[in-house]
C-alpha cells in the first residue's frame, strides 16, 4: 500500500531553483487545499490558477501563495473571439495559463495530486526533480541502457557514440504517479483496485521517432523551447470528446521536438495521485478517442515537417494543415480542431509578441 507524504513541512528547504523563471499552472474547479501539502515546495513560486466552470464561484487559495487567477470571464475578455480555442469544463483549459505566463518554464499539476514518498519514506519534491530533468540534456538519438547519463552515479555506457554525448536540449519533463495510475476508462473498469506501488528510480529520454501518451497531471516544460505546441485542444463543453487534451498536446509536442532536435524525458518525479475519476463518466468522454486514436497515432507517427519549419509556431501551423487534410476524413471534429490550432497560435503570438514580453494582468493577483 502506498501512502502520500504527510510531513512535507519538515522536508529540507532548499534554495528554490528557477524561482523567477518558472510558473506553476493549476486548472481547478475547487478550493486549492491541496496546496497545503505542497507549501514547502511551491510557496516560493508564482502560481497561475485557471478556474474552470462557473466563473462566479470563489476559489479559495491558502494564505501565503503568490498567484494570479483566471476564470472564464477573464479568458473571454483577454482573448476576445480567440477564446474559442480554450476549452471549457475540461482541464484542457489549463493551457490558457501557459499562454499568459511570461516565464521560461511551466510546471503544471492537477489539484488531486499530493506529495509522494520515495522508498526511504522521504517526501518527494517533484518540482525540484522536474527542474533537474529540464536543466540537463536529453538523449533522443541513441538509447542509454543505464537511463539518464547525466544523473549522479550514471554515465554513458560502452558503445554510446561520443559525438552524441552532449545530448539535446530538454523541452519536456513528464512525471509519473504513485497510487492511482493514469488508466483509461476500460482499464479502470477492468482493474478497479489496481494501484501503482512500483517506484522506478529512473529518468529516461523518449527516443526520437517514438510517440508516448503524455499525461498532463505532473508535467514540466520549457515554454521558450516548446510552449506553442502545448495546446490542449478542444475538449469538454460542446465537444465530442474529453480526456484527450494532454494526449493531443503530447503527440504534437513529440513530433515537433523530434523535428527540432529537442528532448522529452519521462520517469521521475512521482506525485501521489489520490483519487480515481469515475470510470463511467470517463468512458463517455473517452470512447470516441478510443476509436480515433487508432487513426490519429499512425497519422502522427508518419507526420513529417518540412525543413523550413524552423520555429515551434511554424511547425504547429504546418501540423494543423496536415490534421485538416488527413484527420478531417475521420470526423468533422478534426476540421474544427485544426482551425482551433491556428487560433491558438494567433492568440499565443498576440500575448507573446516576439522580443517584447507583454505583461497581462487580470487585476486579481
* Dihedral pair phi/psi, residue 348, rounded to 5°: -55, -50
Residue selected from 5, 116, 234, 247 as contacting its own copies according to rule CB under 8 A: 247
The answer to whether residue 146 forms part of the interface with its own copies (CB under 8 A) is yes
Q: Report d(CA 266, CA 219) in Å as an integer.
A: 9
Residues 122-141 that bind its own copies (CB under 8 A): none
Size of residue set near its own copies by CB under 8 A: 59
- Least distance to its own copies, CB of residue 123, Å: 19
The answer to whether residue 184 forms part of the interface with its own copies (CB under 8 A) is yes
With CA atoms as reference, report the closest residue to 262 among 172, 164, 202, 348. Answer: 172
Nearer to its own copies, 299 or 348 (CB): 299
C-alpha cell at 136: 540537463
The answer to whether residue 154 forms part of the interface with its own copies (CB under 8 A) is yes
The answer to whether residue 341 forms part of the interface with its own copies (CB under 8 A) is no
The answer to whether residue 191 forms part of the interface with its own copies (CB under 8 A) is yes
DSSP 3-state of 128: helix
DSSP 3-state of 110: coil
Cβ neighbours of residue 263 closer than 8 Å, sequence gap 6 or more: 137, 138, 139, 140, 167, 168, 169, 170, 171, 172, 205, 257
Q: Output the CA torsion sign for 216, 267, 323, 82.
A: positive
The answer to whether residue 279 forms part of the interface with its own copies (CB under 8 A) is no
Nearer to its own copies, 73 or 210 (CB): 210
The answer to whether residue 143 forms part of the interface with its own copies (CB under 8 A) is yes
Kindly list the residues in this chain that would bind its own copies in the complex (CB under 8 A): 119, 142-147, 151, 153-163, 174, 176, 181-184, 186-187, 191, 194-202, 204, 206-215, 243-244, 246-247, 250, 266, 286, 290, 293-294, 297
Amino acid at each position: 500500500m502506498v501512502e502520500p507524504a504527510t510531513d512535507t513541512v519538515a522536508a529540507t528547504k532548499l534554495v528554490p531553483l528557477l524561482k523567477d523563471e518558472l510558473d506553476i499552472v493549476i486548472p481547478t474547479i475547487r478550493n486549492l487545499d491541496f496546496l497545503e501539502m505542497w507549501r514547502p515546495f511551491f510557496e516560493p513560486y508564482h502560481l497561475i490558477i485557471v478556474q474552470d466552470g462557473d466563473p462566479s464561484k470563489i476559489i479559495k487559495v491558502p494564505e501565503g501563495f503568490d498567484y494570479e487567477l483566471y476564470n472564464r470571464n477573464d479568458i473571454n475578455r483577454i482573448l476576445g473571439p480567440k477564446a474559442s480555442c480554450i476549452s471549457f469544463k475540461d482541464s484542457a483549459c489549463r493551457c490558457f495559463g501557459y499562454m499568459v505566463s511570461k516565464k521560461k518554464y511551466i510546471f503544471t499539476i492537477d489539484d488531486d495530486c499530493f506529495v509522494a514518498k520515495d522508498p526511504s519514506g522521504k517526501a518527494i519534491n517533484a518540482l525540484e526533480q522536474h527542474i533537474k530533468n529540464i536543466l540537463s540534456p536529453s538523449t533522443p538519438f541513441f538509447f542509454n541502457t543505464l537511463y539518464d547519463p547525466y544523473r549522479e552515479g550514471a554515465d554513458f555506457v560502452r558503445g554510446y557514440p561520443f559525438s552524441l554525448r552532449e545530448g539535446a536540449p530538454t523541452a519536456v519533463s513528464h512525471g509519473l504517479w504513485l497510487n492511482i495510475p493514469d488508466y483509461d476508462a476500460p482499464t479502470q473498469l477492468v482493474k478497479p483496485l489496481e494501484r501503482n506501488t512500483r517506484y522506478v528510480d529512473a529518468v529516461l529520454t523518449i527516443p526520437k521517432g517514438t510517440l508516448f501518451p503524455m499525461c498532463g497531471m505532473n508535467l514540466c516544460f520549457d515554454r521558450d523551447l516548446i510552449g506553442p505546441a502545448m495546446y490542449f485542444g478542444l475538449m469538454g463543453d460542446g465537444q465530442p470528446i474529453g480526456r484527450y487534451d494532454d494526449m493531443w498536446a503530447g503527440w504534437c509536442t513529440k513530433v515537433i521536438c523530434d523535428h527540432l532536435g529537442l528532448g522529452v524525458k519521462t520517469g521521475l518525479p512521482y506525485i501521489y495521485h489520490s483519487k480515481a475519476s469515475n470510470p463511467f463518466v470517463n468512458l463517455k468522454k473517452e470512447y470516441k478517442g478510443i476509436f480515433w486514436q487508432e487513426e490519429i497515432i499512425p497519422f502522427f507517427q508518419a507526420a513529417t515537417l518540412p525543413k523550413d519549419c524552423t520555429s515551434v509556431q511554424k511547425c504547429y501551423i504546418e501540423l494543423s494543415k496536415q490534421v485538416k487534410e488527413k484527420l478531417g476524413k475521420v470526423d468533422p471534429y478534426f476540421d474544427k480542431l485544426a482551425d482551433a490550432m491556428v487560433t491558438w497560435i494567433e492568440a499565443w503570438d498576440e500575448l507573446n509578441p516576439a522580443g517584447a514580453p507583454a505583461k497581462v494582468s487580470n487585476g486579481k493577483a
